[in-house]
Each structure stands twice: as C-alpha cells, then as structure tokens.
C-alpha cells in the first residue's frame, strides 16, 4: 500500500498519476448502461444514433465523469474529495482511449482543512478534450 499523500509534499504545478483506460467499445457502453440505468438509445442503438445524424453510438458523458472520479480516488481515498465539478466539452466516440489527468493549481486552507485545487481533464488518444473541471481535495 502506498503512503498517504501529504499536503507538505504537494506543490502547485504537480501532476497526479494519470489514468489511461482501454478503448471505448460497444461492450463498455452496454456495461455502463446496466450499471448506471441510463439506457438512452443514442449510446447503444446505431440506427437511432444515425437518425440523430451521428456516425455511430458514443459514450455517455457520465461514463467519462466516472473515470475522472476514479482518477481522484486512485490518488486519495474518496472521503478526502471535497468538490468535483465537471463540464462536458466533447463526445467520446467508439475506439477513443480516455486518458484522465490532474494538475495542482492551488494550495489553501479553509475551515481548518489543508486543501488542494486540481484542474482535471479527460481527453482521447489524440489529445482532444472531452471533459474538463476541477476538484478540491483535503490532505493531511
């Protein structure tokens, strides 16, 4: 088990360990549908997607949001996450390889807690951003 991340060891500009996933495929989408209860046909029915003028089905935005959550909880325990804010900036197509990154943008204290603000991002293998946001993490 790795040692807990310490506030004193973190500097503005530090990057947390990245999270690189497997390429998104139809099985990924079907499994996410079952896990989330989100069965929107745009994500699982190619005919429906094409009627909506999309070339094929594509990933749920919240699947990528979950990947950003995993990025954080791979770094610190979930109970240390104080804020997670995300905006959707692109569509994750089949075959895209989601890669999530985080960079420390601020260190501060509030209400007796030592906190860091992270800029977080989920991009594909071409560097095209699909989600962006920020997280606030409490550290000891």
> For 3-51, what is each residue's pLDDT tens digit?
799 999 999 999 999 999 999 999 999 999 999 999 999 999 999 999 9
Per residue in 99-122, pLDDT tens? 999 999 999 999 999 999 999 999
pTM of the model: 0.94
Tokens of 37: 């209860």
Dihedral, CA of residue 105, residue 119, residue 76 and residue 127, to nearest 10: -130
Token pair for residue 132? 């962006």
Helix then strand count (H, E) for the chain reads: 3, 5
> In what helix (H) or strand (E) does residue 82 lie, and over which residues does it extend?
strand 81-88
Question: Which residue is listed with tokens 């079952």?
Answer: 34
Please state, in angstroms and rounded to a whole number, the distance separating the CA atoms of residues 102 and 134. 8
């Amino acid at each position: 088990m790795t040692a807990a991340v310490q506030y004193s060891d973190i500097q503005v500009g530090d990057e947390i360990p990245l999270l690189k996933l497997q390429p998104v495929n139809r099985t990924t989408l079907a499994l996410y549908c079952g896990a989330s209860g989100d069965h929107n046909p745009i994500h699982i029915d190619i005919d429906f997607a094409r009627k909506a003028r999309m070339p094929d089905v594509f990933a749920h935005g919240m699947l990528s949001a979950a990947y950003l959550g995993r990025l954080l909880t791979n770094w610190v325990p979930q109970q240390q996450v104080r804020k997670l804010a995300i905006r959707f900036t692109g569509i994750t197509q089949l075959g895209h390889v989601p890669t999530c990154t985080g960079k420390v943008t601020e260190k501060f204290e509030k209400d007796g807690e030592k906190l860091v603000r992270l800029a977080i991002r989920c991009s594909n293998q071409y560097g095209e951003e699909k989600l962006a946001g920020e997280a606030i993490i409490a550290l000891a």
